């Protein structure tokens, strides 16, 4: 957490203001994120223009122009958040406000502030192709693109004997389907989360892909899920958690058949499923 819908919500919130903004200053108050923020981070960013913001898996990529094109790669970790503030109305610095990026925009001067209580997020600057950045090099296809198909998942899982849920959460197979949305997608597709990935038929994979795309699209439209910490760039929570069929509802009746939902674990992650609806 945050997962793909939350990161996409953040990207969409930042994009209108930050596109074509110039980075005029960078302040790093605490370099102790998941990986230490590089000593030349401030100098690498200052003076560059933000061309646009992309998302790859759960990463935000701020595409920058300058003497040499480059990218600010950011991950929110478990508790990270970006907020934007006018310089003239900048709030007091809080304990976990680790990075400020000052921006000159068409609408005036702003600060992009990164807050992260648990410091599991990360920030990196790199130049060159995405494939040269180790955090991006091995990622699978994006779930909301035509690259993810039932045929692709069927073909790539013929030698995978582990549970389908763990395969679905493997970022080298497909990116961005985290624990919450894997639970919800498998329920909607009627697939038991423990079924071996190589024992899911092509027809069921095609249905699963449709449900993955639908679940993620609905979650983005709802502003993502807020279970504890997530807020968008305006400091507001998401609301998709109100529409969960299974995640976090173990012991409660299935919303389709009323059978009590059950809890199990896959790779240490909670999995909630309906023993009647999912086979």
Separation between Cα atoms, residue 189 and residue 279, nearest integer Å = 10
Distances in whole angstroms, Cα of residue 4 to Cα of each of 12, 28, 203? 12, 26, 25
The residue from 2, 143, 163, 193 that is catalytic is 2
Separation between Cα atoms, residue 276 and residue 279, nearest integer Å = 7
The residue from 63, 195, 213, 269 that is catalytic is 269
Verify whether residue 58 is a known catalytic residue: yes
The residue from 48, 58, 113, 207 that is catalytic is 58
Residues 6+ apart with CB under 8 A from 229: 1, 78, 79, 81, 117
Strand 81-86 vs strand 108-115: parallel, antiparallel, or unpaired? antiparallel
Q: How many CA atoms lie within 13 A of 220 on its CB side?
A: 19
Separation between Cα atoms, residue 128 and residue 89, nearest integer Å = 36
Beta-sheet strands, E only, within the chain: 22-28, 49-56, 59-65, 70-75, 81-86, 97-105, 108-115, 122-126, 262-266, 269-273
**Of 160, 204, 199, which Cα lies nearest the Cα of 185?**
204
Find out whether 96 and 122 touch, Cβ atoms under 8 Å: no
Separation between Cα atoms, residue 72 and residue 227, nearest integer Å = 28
Plot region of 73 (φ>0 → left; ψ -120 to 50 → alpha; else → beta): beta
Verify whether residue 195 is a known catalytic residue: no
The residues assigned a catalytic role are: 2-3, 58, 269
């Amino acid at each position: 957490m945050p997962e793909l819908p939350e990161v996409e919500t953040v990207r969409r919130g930042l994009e209108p203001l930050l596109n074509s903004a110039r980075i005029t200053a960078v302040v790093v108050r605490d370099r102790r994120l998941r990986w230490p923020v590089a000593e030349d981070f401030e100098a690498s960013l200052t003076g560059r223009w933000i061309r646009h913001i992309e998302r790859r898996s759960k990463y935000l990529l701020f595409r920058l122009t300058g003497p040499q094109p480059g990218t600010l790669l950011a991950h929110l970790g478990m508790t990270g958040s970006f907020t934007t503030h006018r310089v003239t109305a900048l709030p007091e610095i809080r304990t976990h406000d680790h990075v400020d990026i000052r921006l000159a925009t068409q609408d005036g001067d702003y600060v992009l502030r990164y807050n992260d209580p648990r410091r599991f997020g990360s920030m990196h600057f790199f130049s060159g192709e995405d494939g040269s950045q180790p955090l991006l090099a091995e990622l699978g296809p994006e779930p909301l693109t035509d690259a993810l198909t039932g045929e692709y998942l069927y073909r790539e899982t013929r030698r995978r004997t582990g549970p389908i849920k763990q395969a679905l959460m493997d970022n080298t197979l497909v990116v961005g389907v985290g624990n919450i949305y894997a639970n919800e997608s498998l329920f909607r597709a009627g697939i038991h989360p423990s079924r071996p990935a190589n024992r899911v038929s092509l027809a069921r994979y095609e249905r699963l892909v449709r449900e993955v795309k639908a679940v993620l699209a609905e979650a983005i439209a709802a502003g993502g899920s807020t279970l504890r910490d997530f807020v968008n760039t305006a400091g507001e929570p998401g609301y998709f958690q109100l529409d969960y069929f299974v995640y976090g509802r173990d012991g409660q009746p299935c919303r389709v058949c009323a059978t009590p939902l059950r809890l199990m674990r896959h790779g240490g992650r909670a999995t909630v499923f309906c023993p009647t609806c999912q086979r």
